[in-house]
Chain A
Amino acid sequence: MENLLNIFIKSIFVENMIFAYFLGMCSYLAVSKTVKTSFGLGVAVVFVLGITVPVNYLLENYVLSAGALSWLGEGFADIDLGFLSFIMFIAVIASMVQLVEMVIEKFTPALYTSLGIFLPLIAVNCAILGGSLFMQERAYANIGQATVFGVGSGIGWLLAIVGIAAIREKLSYSNIPGPLKGLGITFIVTGFMGIAFMSFMGIQL
């Protein structure tokens, strides 16, 4: 139980997808102009991560890694399909995003129109594939840990994008030097937020 809490808190604050690993920056920079759309996108990312990481965990441990296919029979024990992980993960992610898109279109059409092209672009959001790849690299012990990691990473991303959107909304009234307006100042502010998040590094739970 403590281990799960540990993974959860670490993935939100200490190993934040945006501030520690810079994953998902393209949509982070492009969508963060208003808090409302950022929140919607963030929730969609939490949802997609929370589903794709456990599913990919199952794929990784029962189909892809070395010896994973041994549940099929003795003869399959020495097959190593690890090199297929990229394609399999991205296939799972693309289908999940398609599902999420259909759900959002049905239940919150306003959000669907305001997100526009960025909803299907979640499929190529580095944070989503990154979540699965980190799960693979860190070899979590069970599906509970993988799920907690997925949901936690999503929440960390949500926090980051809502934070920067709130700051950018206020920044639009400030006197920023011309060349820095828009993209430049967002990078620098994100850098400061990253430094702030580093203060969580030494936390022992």
Chain B
Amino acid sequence: MSNTREPLFSAKNLKLITGPIGSQNPITIQVLGICSALAVTAKLEPAIVMSISVIMVLVFSNLIISLLRDSIPSRIRIIVQLVVVAALVIVVDQILKAFAYEVSRQLSVFVGLIITNCIIMGRLEAFALANKPWPSILDAIGNGAGYGIILVIVAFVRELFGAGTLTVPGLGTLHLIPEAFYEFGYVNNGLMILPPMALMVVGLIIWVQRSRNKELIES
């Protein structure tokens, strides 16, 4: 039992949130969570819903594993983690099917694939198993937010240039390119909606991020 208790939002704790949003981004630096980041970003709405789902699963699984961290035998820890994450994803899946059926159809198998999302297993192994509940929650929020930001940026670029629209949950489909542009001869970039462009956009994001922060360049 430590004598000095860390204040809830101390600088060290806040770094757990801000770190993964920028220089320790799970997708562009830690290379985790790529699969779903690329697949659900053809439109903005599934990307937002996916990010929220992942943040929820991350927070609760980090919390549960952190609370249990002293009672899990090391040999079966992967199985315990998998069971906890799978149960949470089942709950998220049922909630999505009940309240956002259209989006859950678009996300199809990728909701189930949150179970194998490397970010969740990665943070459980690297952080929750060795840290207290409150820092684990903050770490989960930070990594989830970092993941979400990349998803939203990629989806924004892809949908805007690929279809000229933005689908925002709650606001529906917004047509952002004015009709005048189309009559002028502007055509939607069909390639953007296809899967490979997601890889290119993330590659470009990595390029920009590492140009601005020279320390992140691999030698």
Contact = CB atoms under 8 A, between A and B. Distances in A.
Interface stretch (A20-28, A48-56, A68-76, A142-150): A20-28
A81 B121 CA distance: 26
B40 to A, nearest CB: 10
Given A126-B117, A133-B109, A22 B35 contact: yes
Contact of A86 (B31, B115, B118): B115
Contact of A179 (B86, B196, B217): B217
B189 interface: no
Given A124-B116, A194-B199, A22 B39 contact: yes
Interface stretch (B130-138, B176-184, B201-209): B201-209
A118 B122 CA distance: 13
A98 to B, nearest CB: 10
Given A120-B78, A126-B117, A87 B198 contact: no
A4 to B, nearest CB: 22
A182 B218 contact: yes
B200 A22 contact: no
Given A124-B82, A183-B218, A185-B203, A21 B196 contact: no
A24 B36 CA distance: 10
Nearest to A179: B210
A25 B35 contact: yes
Contacts of A24: 35
Interface size class on chain B is: 35 or more
B31 A90 contact: no
A86 B203 contact: no
Interface in A23-57: 23-26, 29-30
Nearest to A194: B196
Contacts of A188: 199-200, 203
Contacts of A181: 217-219
B83 A19 contact: no
B78 A123 contact: yes
Contact of B200 (A124, A130, A191): A191
Interface in B24-45: 28, 31-36, 38-39
B89 interface: yes
A90 B86 contact: yes
A153 B83 CA distance: 26
Contacts of B100: none
Contacts of B109: 130, 133-134, 137
A202 interface: no
B5 to A, nearest CB: 35
Residue from A21, A22, A190 having most chain B Cβ neighbours under 10 A = A22
A26 B27 CA distance: 10
Contact of A26 (B35, B83, B191): B35
A129 B198 CA distance: 22
Interface string A74-96: 00000000011111001000100
29 contacts: A19-B196, A22-B198, A23-B35, A23-B39, A25-B34, A25-B35, A26-B31, A26-B35, A29-B34, A30-B31, A83-B90, A83-B94, A86-B93, A94-B82, A124-B115, A124-B116, A126-B35, A133-B112, A178-B214, A179-B210, A183-B28, A185-B203, A187-B203, A191-B197, A191-B199, A194-B195, A195-B194, A195-B196, A198-B194
Interface of B: 28, 31-36, 38-39, 78-79, 82-83, 86-87, 89-90, 93-94, 108-109, 112-113, 115-118, 121, 191, 194-200, 202-203, 206-211, 214, 216-219
Given A22-B34, A26-B35, A129-B116, 19 more contacts: A19-B196, A23-B39, A29-B31, A86-B93, A90-B86, A90-B116, A124-B115, A125-B116, A126-B35, A126-B116, A130-B35, A130-B113, A137-B108, A179-B206, A179-B210, A179-B216, A181-B217, A187-B202, A188-B203
